[in-house]
Chains A and B, each alone.
Chain A
């Protein structure tokens, strides 16, 4: 595989690489895509306005299901953001050079997901105007405070890991043709970068430190998020396995997201020379490994309690396996894990299009999986649900909840889309340098 990519590089000049990878204007399809996303965001904003005006009563959450799709959407965002640390840091530290063109895609997914994770958690608050109480009255023994701390840290490190590798590209961007306003932005963000040996040294060192630092922080954000559930007594949440279970699922959904983004960017910007079949092939192997790992944790998570069938667990597990939530539960397992594993085990399955389809299955399965983790547990409390209206016994999100959840997903996509318009989605300077190195080796 490596020999193919090296053979390709010989024929491509630096100017050609720069021309191919510079951000370009949106075409017709691009504008339609953006309009749809903006529309969805506006509908979400209107739904949130209604929620602010009337209270959380516009949702269908009630005293038993007190956490709904806002929280499962939050967990989804935190999960998908973990891929930044995997591809940028883990692959870099293990010298997996092939992943260089994917780093920026992974990092912008991480940054936009973490931003919308924070927003969606504010949406879930009954008193968003008291958000600052988290800092003025914060109590360190609450896992929510741990989450605030680690998510804040993760956001800063991810932003730096997005920004520092961009510095060499700013020089190219400033010298390229483009709208004056973008030039101004590039100059503001990166005109101090001269590309001297000293600067490169500092930048390399900083990136290495950040890559090491981000790994424990990434593990923390999702472990702590899993503890929001695992620190309670409830059936389905009361598990010592939750941290590892959540992290493996997070790496899976993030990698699925990267595969989708790779396919779309490759098609839309004609990046076949840079996001090659080799990249899909290798990502396919990563994804199949992660799917198997997540499947393993799922079997662990459901098989062991099902074997014992403790009384409080029983109603919950039956609702998942054969009851009210069976369709979503099995969708998440079969479509979100088993079918992608089958597709990706075959070499033909690791080509771009089947990978793209498997990626969509993984991400959709993962979203519903988070729903399955949050809601069914709340509908199976220890004491019976007595003396409450019938509507408290069930949960199906209201249109406002759907609109806000979909709006937040659209918002994250919009951030990624605009990022790709403004900045090169594949690092230009790094691509040039690596190809030179490869040529010299040749």
Chain B
């Protein structure tokens, strides 16, 4: 397993090329092309702000203004997470030709999915930055240093889960359908459109078990809340867990690897 893991480094060039291909191919043929990477999160934000400031205005505490910005801090990384998992569930089957006909390291496929979605996440960041400037949020540059670390933790965690999901979906195709609903549930079980403090006391323990909750809170701490990053202990624990999830995901993937060529 560790031998294969090391071999992954050799595929840097391949991964890079495939990510580029993915990004190029995604918007090929659409009028707005690459702009969709900016427009998509923007539209999503508009929808949520409409719902939570116009339709349900009183639902959030008044000190949480601007609420749209708060939600955006979570929605952006969540989109990266959820579309990575959804896409990786089909990626091995879609790339069946490669696995069956070419000597091709299969783990590259889910990794490329996660990375391509990460690029989309990065492309959404300028929009977030514009909003931060627009609302004149005070940002602590020291606190911002945490940001790359949070992204890294999310990357490791998401990749681990993507490897697991992609490998299992080859054997159980229903995961694809199940996953969509599971992710919706997961979305609402994560403090993204509501702050953690608003969750009922007796539910906190359950939310604390959710790794994504701590990631999102970390993003919110760094980008939205004023004051020092108070969530770093949770984040470090999560970093350790992310590595475990990654190794676990890779282990399962590696065990099932030989069956891919026959099953996809």
> Does B bind A?
no
Residues of B that sit less than 8 Å from A by CB: none
